[in-house]
Structure 1
Amino acid sequence: MKHMGDNGGLNNRYLGVLLIGLVGVSLGMFGVRSVAEGGPTGVPLCAPGDLPPQAYDTIDLVEKGGPFPEPGEDDTHFGNYEGLLPEEPSDYYREYTVPTPGLGHRGERRIVTGGGADGEVDEWYFTADHYESFCEIPEH
Structure 2
Amino acid sequence: MRNRSVVALLLTGLLAIALLAFGGTGILESLAGSPTPATSSSAAPVPEAPVPGPAEVRTPAAVPGPDAAPANPSGLPSISESALPAEARRTLALIRAGGPYSYSQDDKTFGNFERLLPRQSSGYYREYTVPTPGESDRGARRIVAGAGGEKYYTQDHYDSFTFIAEGS
Task: Confirm whether residue 107 of structure 1 aligns to residue 139 of structure 2.
Answer: yes
Q: Which protein has the larger Cα radius of gyration, Structure 1 or Structure 2? A: 2
Q: Which residue among 107, 129, 144 is the counterpart of 1:75?
A: 107
Question: How far did 1:50 drift?
Answer: 4.7
1:132 aligned partner: 159
1:45 maps to 78
2:72 and 2:150 in contact (8 A); partners too = no
Shift of 1:83: 0.3
Alignment match, 2:17: none
Question: Per-residue CA shift, 1:36-74, capped at 9, x if unaligned?
Answer: xx9332121125765211000000101111111112x00
Residue number in structure 2 paired with 1:57: 90
**Structure 2 length-normalised TM:** 0.54
Q: CA RMSD in A?
A: 1.7
The runs of at least 4 aligned residues of structure 1 exceeding 6 Å deviation read: none
CA distance in 2 between partners of 1:49 and 1:75 (Å): 23
Is the contact made by 2:81 and 2:165 (CA closer than 8 Å) also made in structure 1? no
**Aligned residues, how many?**
97
The alignment's TM-score, normalised by the length of structure 1, stands at: 0.64
Question: Would you say the 8 A contact 2:132–2:141 is kept in 1?
Answer: yes
**CA 1:115–1:102: 2 relative to 1, 3 Å:** same
Kept in 1: contact 2:81–2:166 (CA 8 A): no
Change (3 A) 1:47 1:138: closer
Aligned to 1:88: 120
Tell me by how many angstroms 1:91 deviates: 1.1
- Which consecutive unaligned segments of at least 5 residues does structure 2 have? 1-70
Q: Which amino acid aligns with 2:121?
A: P
- In structure 2, the residue corresponding to 1:63 is in which secondary structure? helix
* Runs of 5+ unmatched residues, structure 1: 1-37, 117-121
Question: 1:97 and 2:124 equivalent?
Answer: no
